[in-house]
Chains A and B, each alone.
Chain A
Amino acid sequence: MDNQWYLAIIAEKERFYRLAYSYVKNEQDALDIMQESMYKALKQYGRLREKDVVITWFYRIVINTSLNFLKKNAKNIYIEDIDQESIAAHPRKNYFELRQAVNELPFQYKTVIILRYFEDMKISDIAGILGENVNTVKTRLYTALKKLRVEISEEDV
């Protein structure tokens, strides 16, 4: 019974894949990250104490694997911050620009935006995945939204 835990992960594969893809922006690298994540999961599952958090746990693996991948591949060094000039030059509302801006967010901001708004997760769950406290995640989300120029109040993230 317990060896079926990975079916829960496989059932949610699209979410993990999309997250990996958002970091590396190409299929082959995203598949590689998934493969390595799966490998780590298979190896480490035995040491996982709370078996009911397998999804959260696998998210963490995918995020860490992606981060390692980016660090290793110099060509993929992520942009530290959005180029404010280029946004100011296009002050029109434009979904392409917004998508682009999400794409170019630094790693930790992109992660919280995707998990919170794209995957519709609760802040407490995101905190669990990242191993941070809820307030840190909120602050990070608020900063990320500001970078994206999304109108929002701090209480409303």
Chain B
Amino acid sequence: MERLLDIRNLKVWYSTYRGFAKVVDGINMHVGKGEKVGLVGESGCGKTTTMKSILRVLDSRKVHIPEGEIIFKGSDILRMNYNEIQQVRRRSISMISQEPSAALNPVFTVGDQIMEVIRHSGQFDKNFSKKDMKSLAIKAIRDVLISDPERIFDSYPHQLSGGMKQRICIVMALVTPRELLIADEPGTALDVTIQDQIHRLLRSLVEEKHMSLIMITHSLGVARELVDRIYVMYAGNIVEAAKTKDLFKNPLHPYTRGLMDCVPRLSGGGVSEGIYGYIPDYINPTPGCRFYPRCPDAKEVCSRQKPPATVATENHLVACFKYN
């Protein structure tokens, strides 16, 4: 499959008063054209930081990117000038955030905000009137299964429920043609029944428009239902990458296994012990594997050396000395 996005050895550091927090520690991942990819990890593991660095929306005064490349359609996003990155944001990559009420501006109507996206996309010529824009926006609102788009078009974000607001965010992300959608836990702030609706909607829209999707989530269940391939992230490292089916059939990395054990099952069977310990300090991390202090299978070598990503089976990568 042709690669649309290729992240190579990306490192992202935050500067704090104690020194640099090495939040993203050399990750490699790629997204093919039309592929749906999941990035799964617990809070604070660096998933959102990675995604924000793709769009370069991190605060440049606090963030230092010492190494790495983010190749999007052949050019490196990290080395683009302002105009170039702006073009990528306008035309190619869009993002849905976790908190829909924070993503929408409370002083403009929903319609205004959607029209702004259309206006700045630069994908329409001068003959494209305001009326055409509005009808495009209304059609897009109807596409996300809102039954009365005209009323929603003229309402303010506070007049809508959480699920509706998230639908509007999806409209804004998809109203103009895009190649890649980054969805950052779009269902987390919502109830399960609404979350289920939003996920089904996202999947059908992405498939219909032949886009690529990066789904960030902390829930293995959500990833299993939505994506083709999963990256499991722990403390700034990708610890395992595999096709969804393979990952759930045969999880390899001790962290992935621990995480799966922790999920309470609908079929019963009690609650597991949890994973021993807490996530490590990012400012002075261990020189070896970052999971080493919590790992049940830790060996001596794990404390000294970083485990490289090894191919366990075809298309199944794992960063653990157990499989080296």
Bind each other = no
Interface set of B (CB-CB < 8 Å, partner A): none
